[in-house]
């Protein structure tokens, strides 16, 4: 047995999987390679939480502009702190994004990341009891097409990343004009209902395909720890430069 193989076996016994950092074996490296392949210069991070996605991009070497949106008060403050010393990371005022402009109530989850405008489905609660709602916050809901930020107007090749816990379709429906200029979309796709009223993965994929986006990659996401069923994954979609309006 080689030293390399022995080390991998030892790591597995400790519950650790060791893989090479490349586009084949690492989801993080794969995402950064996709951004490079499609020459993305601006990432719109909808549902940024405390800035984890932006940090991942910077850690992987992405030097373009990041525009982040986050509705929760505490998480928005943490996001703003994370971006404070990065001149190319813009944090929009605290707001939720959807298909209307109005005041709404957002449900706050125990793990923060599972917070949503939509009621949580029992399937989600069973698979992740720590994600149950523990409170609510009032926040302004805005259409992305109505948000005025210079960074969005100046962008050339954009990736729209949406992590809004079942509210992804409403975000897209509030951004038809911006979507015409977007080169790629990354968003959460649910295999089974996790939030009441959400649109599931097949309908979401078909909706994007009808608008010229092809599925390029999938990133494993929420997995039921008991059954090992994948409940949710990220789909990464791109289209050719010729299809992007300028």
Looking at every residue in the chain, the average pLDDT score rounds to 91
What confidence tier does 27 reach under pLDDT thresholds 50, 70, 90? confident
Q: What are the start-end ranges of the E strands in 65-200?
A: 65-69, 89-91, 96-98, 102-109, 133-143, 158-162, 182-190
pLDDT digits (tens, 9 = 90+) for 160-173: 999 999 999 999 99
> Is 4 a domain residue?
no
What does the alpha-carbon distance between residue 39 and residue 157 come to, in Å, rounded to a whole number? 7
What does the alpha-carbon distance between residue 174 and residue 146 come to, in Å, rounded to a whole number? 8
Residue that is written with structure tokens 């989600």 in the block: 124
pLDDT score, position 3: 58
What does the alpha-carbon distance between residue 69 and residue 47 come to, in Å, rounded to a whole number? 6
| Mean pLDDT of all residues in 83-91 | 97
pLDDT score, position 28: 85
What does the alpha-carbon distance between residue 117 and residue 88 come to, in Å, rounded to a whole number? 29
State the DSSP H helix or E strand holding residue 176, giving kind and residue range, or none if neither: helix 176-181
Can you state the angle between helices 27-37 and 52-59, rounded to 10 degrees?
A: 70
Cα–Cα distances (Å) from 231 to 28, 44, 207, in that order, read 20, 25, 20
pLDDT score, position 111: 93
Query: Is the pLDDT score of 14 beyond 80?
Result: no
> Is 16 a domain residue?
no
pLDDT digits (tens, 9 = 90+) for 92-125: 999 999 999 999 999 999 999 999 999 999 999 9
Domain span holding position 198: 22-243
> Is 59 a domain residue?
yes
Say which DSSP state 132 is in: S
Helix (H, G, I), strand (E, B) or coil at 97: strand
Q: What is the CATH number of the domain that holds 192?
A: 3.40.50.150
pLDDT score, position 175: 98
What does the alpha-carbon distance between residue 20 and residue 11 come to, in Å, rounded to a whole number? 14
> Is 56 a domain residue?
yes
| Mean pLDDT of all residues in 14-33 | 71
> Is 58 a domain residue?
yes
Closest C-alpha among 246, 56, 68 to residue 151: 68
pLDDT score, position 242: 46
pLDDT digits (tens, 9 = 90+) for 174-225: 999 999 999 999 999 999 999 999 999 999 999 999 999 999 999 999 999 9
In this prediction, what percent of the chain has a pLDDT beyond 90?
82
Quote the number of domains for the chain: 1
């Amino acid at each position: 047995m080689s030293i390399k193989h022995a080390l991998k076996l030892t790591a597995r016994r400790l519950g650790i999987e060791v893989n090479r950092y490349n586009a084949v074996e690492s989801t993080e490296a794969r995402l950064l390679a996709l951004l490079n392949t499609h020459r993305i210069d601006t990432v719109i991070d909808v549902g940024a939480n405390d800035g984890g996605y932006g940090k991942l991009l910077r850690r992987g070497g992405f030097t373009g502009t990041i525009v982040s949106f986050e509705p929760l008060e505490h998480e928005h403050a943490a996001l703003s702190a994370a971006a404070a010393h990065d001149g190319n990371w813009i944090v929009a005022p605290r707001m939720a994004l959807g298909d209307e402009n109005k005041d709404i109530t957002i449900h706050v989850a125990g793990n923060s990341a599972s917070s949503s405008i939509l009621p949580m489905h029992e399937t989600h609660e069973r698979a992740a009891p720590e994600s149950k709602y523990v409170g609510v916050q009032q926040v302004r809901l805005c259409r992305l097409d109505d948000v005025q930020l210079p960074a969005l107007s100046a962008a050339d090749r954009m990736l729209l990343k949406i992590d809004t816990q079942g509210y992804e379709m409403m975000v897209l429906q509030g951004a038809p004009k911006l979507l015409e200029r977007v080169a790629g979309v990354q968003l959460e796709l649910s295999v089974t209902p996790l939030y009441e009223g959400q649109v599931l993965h097949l309908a979401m994929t078909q909706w994007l395909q009808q608008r010229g986006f092809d599925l390029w990659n999938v990133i494993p996401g929420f997995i039921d720890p008991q059954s090992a069923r994948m409940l949710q994954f990220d789909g990464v979609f791109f289209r050719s430069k010729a299809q992007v309006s300028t």
